Amino acid sequence: MLSVIEESGANLLNLVREVLDRESKKAHSEELDYETVSVKAIIERVIAMNKAKAIVKNINLNYSISPKDLTAEVDQNKIEIAVNNLVSNALKFTPTGGNVVVEVASEQPQIYINVTDSGIGIPEKMQPDLFKNNDYSREGTSGELGTGLGLDIVQLYVELHGGNVSVESELDKGTTFYLKIPQNRMEK
């Protein structure tokens, strides 16, 4: 019976991966829906979406924004999805009692969004392939599973804005993802 459940779960995960892969390919040709938005509001929504998971794992989830009234001309939905993927991953790979911090700063003409965790870290040999659309997925510290597509989507959405994403990680110490996004609309 357990093997039937496991097989059904694996089939469902493969189906989800296929849908996400298709959506990721479709997103490459999407137009951005630019609007001037409060960066603080985006970060607060992401924190609210992840608060329950943080509470369950007893993880301190905090953020800081400077300046507090920072605005940006971005596709709010895509930036929110990108930051949410990073925060969700940070919680997934941070053990009970750890910390996840989102820091936002502006240095014209760029916005910097850093997501730092005190998690298990990413092996150095895996870091070059993190942003490639693949089936790779690691189990979180509490057995959480994923699709392996989240970081590909993060990179895609940030690059569509003319920005970039990078990572620094040390095993058993934690990871920081760095997003750098133009504060104003990219002209094509």
Identify the CA nearest to 177 among candidates 117, 132, 96: 117
C-alpha 35: how far from chain center: 21
Q: What is the pLDDT of residues 57-78, one digit of tens each?
A: 999 999 999 999 999 999 999 9
pLDDT at 45 over 50: yes
Beta bridge partners of 126: none
pLDDT at position 147 is 45
Distance CA 82, CA 46 (A): 10
Strands 60-66 and 99-107: parallel
Name the token pair of 156: 């895609």
CA dist 120 → 1, 12, 140 (Å): 33, 27, 9
pTM score: 0.81
Q: How far apart are the first and last CA of the chain?
A: 55
How many residues are there in the chain?
A: 188
Name the token pair of 2: 């357990």
Q: What is the pLDDT of residues 88-118, one digit of tens each?
A: 999 999 999 999 999 999 998 999 999 999 9
pLDDT at position 112 is 98
Domains parsed from the chain with CATH numbers? 2-182 (3.30.565.10)
Identify the CA nearest to 113 among candidates 159, 153, 164, 160: 164
Identify the CA nearest to 93 among candidates 62, 114, 117, 60: 117
Distance CA 2, CA 60 (A): 35
pLDDT at position 138 is 62
pLDDT at position 9 is 58
